[in-house]
Amino acid sequence: MSKEEKSSKVLDSYYENCAFPKPKSKKKKLLHNGYKDKHERICWYTGRPGAERHEIWGGPDRQKSIEMGFQVDLCSELHARLHANCDEWAKTENLKWKMFFQMQYEQKLIESGIRPEMARECWMALIGRNYL
Ligand SMILES: [Zn+2]
């Protein structure tokens, strides 16, 4: 079984017992990250308006980030810095956001009655890496 088939199987069995509806991801309609509300966005760090929405997992996982809301609004300077991931601040913050969203994701599942081990398994099926 491929990694993708396995992950979709785990998710299917999870959603059978889950309070949340399964996201309608099968249609493969690409999601954009809501750039149209840019003027209303405030940078999480500086409070400056006109922030850009940043997906915590990029590349092949960018769509999952949008779908799951693993996003934060950033002014363009800090956005570029997090993408570059070159300085200590950026490295620390990138890791903190990943830990935060994993924790939040697993916590929601646990609160809906999913066992912690199953919540971790769902996380691993979704992102494939443990940050906690
Ligand atoms: Zn970004």
- At residue 18 the predicted structure's pLDDT band, cuts being 50, 70 and 90, is low
CA dist 66 and 58 (Å) reads 10
CA dist 89 and 110 (Å) reads 31
Q: Which pLDDT tens digit goes with each residue over 73-130?
A: 999 999 999 999 999 999 999 999 999 999 999 999 999 999 999 999 999 999 999 9
- Ligand 1 centre distance from Cα of residue 19 (Å): 31
**pTM given for the model:** 0.75
Q: Which pLDDT tens digit goes with each residue over 31-78?
A: 777 666 777 899 999 999 999 999 999 999 999 999 999 999 999 999
- Ligand 1 centre distance from Cα of residue 43 (Å): 12
Phi/psi-derived region of residue 11, left when phi > 0, alpha when psi is between -120 and 50, beta in every other case: alpha
- Ligand 1 centre distance from Cα of residue 120 (Å): 25
Q: How far is CA 84 from CA 73, 88, 90, in A?
A: 16, 11, 8
Would you list the domain boundaries of the chain?
A: 3-23+32-126
The length of the chain in residues reads: 132
Own/partner pairs, 82-89, CB within 8 angstroms, 24+ separation: 82/54, 83/54, 83/58
Contacts of 131 (CB under 8 A, 6+ apart): 95, 98, 99, 102
- Ligand 1 centre distance from Cα of residue 115 (Å): 32
Q: Which of 70 and 18 is assigned the larger pLDDT?
A: 70
- The pLDDT score that the predictor gives to residue 39 is 78
- Ligand 1 centre distance from Cα of residue 55 (Å): 5
Question: Residue range 8-24: average pLDDT?
Answer: 58
- The pLDDT score that the predictor gives to residue 31 is 73
Which residue type, as a one-letter code, is found at position 57? W
- Ligand 1 centre distance from Cα of residue 40 (Å): 17
Residue 21 scores a pLDDT above 90: no
- Ligand 1 centre distance from Cα of residue 123 (Å): 21
